[in-house]
Chain A
Amino acid sequence: MNTLTFRFFAVVLVSITLAFAISVSLNYFKFRQTITILVAERIDFMASDLAASIQLGLDLGLELQAIENVRSQLDRAGLLDPGIRAIWVVDGQGATVFGAAPDLAEPLPSLDTLDGNWVRADDGALTVVSPLRNNFGLTVGAVAMRYSTERTEAQASAMLRDLMQSALVILPIILIPAILLVFLVQRRTSRRLHTLQGRFEGAHPEPDPDDDLGRMAEDVLARAQPKGQP
């Protein structure tokens, strides 16, 4: 373990593997973030679109509860994407008036505070709330949509798995030639040290004229030689 060969190989192995580990993990997180944003944008559009069509009824001066086609619109919207877990409409007080609200870990925000759409990711799903306003600009309710992020999570996991497999294929391709080259570097350093050791122990290996350590060893041995001895 405590040999020059082991240390050289360990340095190369650790450096390259660490760099790969960093690269794989950062790329995974980037992908996960990008795909989550794209899905959130789409769900945001779908909720806004549904809110816009319900808004047509409000623009005619109807009460939210009195708009007849809301239920059918919710049903139709629910069929557009299998990832949609629930769509429901709440009134100004947050009470559900159409559809069935799922159990949420945290309640929806107060509608009075909503400027535009509200998006939250929790518990394997995205929740989007799009406010509904009457002719006077008052918020009288909202469309809420809960979308499962299982597919995007699965895509991200598949991405991580694929990247790890790719790294496992690439690493040996890179490491084998790198280790062979390192072996050449290590062999030269080992040879220098063996030559030094040999000279100090009284052997006479062929000195390398370019090796400054070797030249210094010659000078040390010359000093160690008792005066008068050749």
Chain B
Amino acid sequence: MIARLIRNPVFPMAGIVLIGLLIGLLALSERVLQLSERDLQPELERKAVAVGLSVRETMERALDYEIPLAELNGMEAFLEVYRTDGGLGYIAVIADGQILFSSGPDAALALSEEEADATGAGVLELVRAPFRWFTAPAPQIGAFDDATVRQVPGYIDTALPLRADMEVVGTLHLGTDDAIIFAQLRDNLLDIATILLLSLLLAVELMLFALAYSVTGPMGEMRAVMQRVIDGKLGQLCRVSGPREVRRAQMALNDVIRKMRAGVGEDSTDILQKPRMIGVRLLAFLFVMAEEIARPFMPLFLSGFADTAPAALSPELTAGVIMSASMLIMAIMMPVSGVLVDRIGPRRLFGLGALVATTGLFGSAFAATFNEIIALRCLSVAGYGLCFIACQGYVIENSTTANRARGMGLFVGGIMMADLFGAAIGGIIAERLGFSATFMVGAGISALAGLLVWRLMEQRQQIKGEAMPRFRLSQMGALLINRRFMVVAVLAAIPAKLILVGVLYYLAPLYLTERALSQGDIGRVIMAYGIIAVLVLPVLSNLADHKLGYRNAVVWGSLIAAPLLMAVPYFDMLPVTLAAILFLGFGQALITTSLVPLVTVICATEMETVGQGAVLGTLRFIERIGSAFSPLVAAMLAQALGYDVAIAVYGVTGVVCAVLLAVLTRGAARS
């Protein structure tokens, strides 16, 4: 197994790129920190000096009236006002080595003889040291020539002399909490870590695609042709493609096959056309990322259109209405796209979808009114729906039941990577460049997907796999009267989507914005959902298949996903929200892996009568109805109860549905 992994060039190449990037980006990050320290610390000092000059001016005016420094009245209250307004840790007035007046709990540090290390001490310093490849930049000239700056434990101490009749009578010390610098560094470090992770993911994604498309793919085709020859089938030659070395080997193999054919009197020029489905992974990655990139700020952005909304909608409801409308369009687009993919083929449908999505995303960057944004968001989501069905249709058309799961795995893999990548990178871009620029980046990615489809999806007439029956609305009736199906759909599928869209897409970004988290941090919190899902999905699918059983997996998933959401209003802490989202990701991963297999088991009769496509189509349609109404419900709850309580209400709903599901499907568990 290991030998085979090493033999495949993708894995050693991925390892080399990963290690190279890790070392290189850490060295670059160290440089970023050096430069940030050089430029940000003096800026903080300048602010302390600005406060100090104002305090000193007032004090020196009193001293000019020959009031002795020690006898100034009301100093503590005066200093407290300036300390609070200036956002400082302490202000102290020192004369003859003693603190005369002070404000702030750590003012005694102004007397400290101890010079603390600069920021970056301790563990951080150990981490940074190996990557310090560049000489530290020269520190900037002091903020103000009258001020002296030194580092005391926990603070940057800026001292200004106090004068009376040109004589220095004391010193004014202003302590800037160096946690501010650490906070800047922490933000930078978190962003750098995110960028590092995202760069690695992107690099690996690109490399997997490039190697699979041009090296391992053509080699796989050779393997397939050789296997056919070994099985005695000489009807097809190997397609000659890829780099020169691969092409030469393929041509040599084709010569051998031609000679064998000549020996048996066969004269066919057929070429084995094995569809290259790796392109679908990259296309899925791009079109999903184009939409996901706006995920962390979408409700906040949409709530800004409340001014132009009809019927004086509140900001919460404005966002909820627009998101619900776009989700409804998504639900409608799925069956519509299913019809279109049959008529015009996946490649053209994807091109059309990318064009529509690009228009929607680009327009969203410039939308000024409620009507414009609702139309553009619906356009963008409609494009997403078209691309989604085009990719799915391409996999179905170009696969048989034997390799369809692998094809779908590539498609889903691309979507999951984009889910991870999109929210985090979107948060970082939005924080730096604003919402409009982020939409334009999304439009650029969508346009790129539209251009690449002509290269990455092959012409449909060349390849034709086994067709899968398409979903028709008329086939839903048979399923709607299946009690067990409806129990699972109403108590598991709908709540899962309701909570996913309501909490993760709507309430969490707004709740975290209310808690003053940056867009970058919000993106990272949302990314946690994707990370946990990606990490546990393979393990959980195995667990559901072999140990738990599908019904138990769905019940346990529902029970795990929701309860921690109820804790959010009681613990106003980021770790609790993060844990709730991680549990949500874990629980939903368990539901995702088991819901479809469970439905195929409980709808075994309908699977035979109306087909698998109709059964799964009905399930997806019902799920999307849940998605469509979720933002509106969340908005109404948030308006009435606040974001945190609204999240808890979703948690309660999830738990109630999970308990009912457990009770009502007890029979299924036994069977």
Contacts and interface: CB of A to CB of B under 8 A. Distances in A.
Interface stretch (B63-71, B238-246, B334-342): B238-246
Is the contact region of chain B dominated by helix, strand, or loop, or is it mixed? helix
Contacts of A177: 20
A223 B24 contact: no
Contacts of B248: 193, 197
A24 B28 contact: yes
Contact of B17 (A10, A12, A46): A12
A224 B257 CA distance: 8
B23 A174 contact: yes
Contacts, number: 234
Given A33-B432, A174-B23, A224-B260, A42 B195 contact: no
Interface in B591-608: none
Given A35-B39, A170-B28, A15 B195 contact: no
A181 B211 CA distance: 16
Interface stretch (A59-67, A85-93, A136-144, A183-191): A183-191
B16 interface: yes
- Name which of A18, A22, A219 has the most chain B CB atoms within 10 A of its CB: A22
Contacts of A10: 210
B9 A185 contact: yes
Given A3-B244, A35-B39, A42-B43, A15 B28 contact: no
Interface in A8-61: 8, 10-12, 14-16, 18-20, 22-24, 26-27, 29-35, 38-39, 41-42, 45-46, 48-49
Is the contact region of chain A dominated by helix, strand, or loop, or is it mixed? helix
Contacts of A213: 219, 222-223, 226
A81 B202 CA distance: 45
A135 interface: no
Contacts of A3: 243-245
B459 interface: no
B203 A19 contact: yes
B198 interface: yes
Interface string B427-446: 01101110000000000000
Contacts of A163: 28, 31-32, 35
Contacts of B215: 4, 7-8, 189
Contacts of B187: 30, 34
Contact of B13 (A12, A14, A20, A29): A12
Contacts of A6: 243
A132 interface: no
A7 B195 contact: no
Interface in B44-82: 44, 46-47, 50-51, 53-54
Interface string B6-27: 0101001100110111011101
Nearest to A162: B35
Interface in A137-186: 155, 159, 162-163, 166-167, 169-171, 173-175, 177-178, 181-182, 185-186
Contacts of B255: 200-201
A221 interface: yes
A206 interface: no
Contacts of A15: 17, 21, 202-204, 206-207
Contacts of A39: 43
A3 B12 CA distance: 19
B235 interface: no
Interface residues of B, number: 82
Contacts of A217: 226, 253
Given A30-B191, A216-B226, A16 B263 contact: no
A42 B214 contact: no
B245 A4 contact: yes
A108 to B, nearest CB: 21
A38 B260 contact: no
B188 interface: yes
Interface in A51-110: 80-81
A210 B4 CA distance: 9
A12 B215 CA distance: 14
Nearest to B225: A220
A188 B27 CA distance: 31
10 contacts: A3-B244, A12-B207, A20-B24, A23-B28, A30-B191, A30-B432, A39-B43, A45-B47, A185-B9, A188-B7
Given A16-B24, A27-B28, A27-B29, 9 more contacts: A12-B16, A19-B21, A20-B28, A23-B196, A30-B432, A45-B85, A163-B35, A178-B16, A189-B245
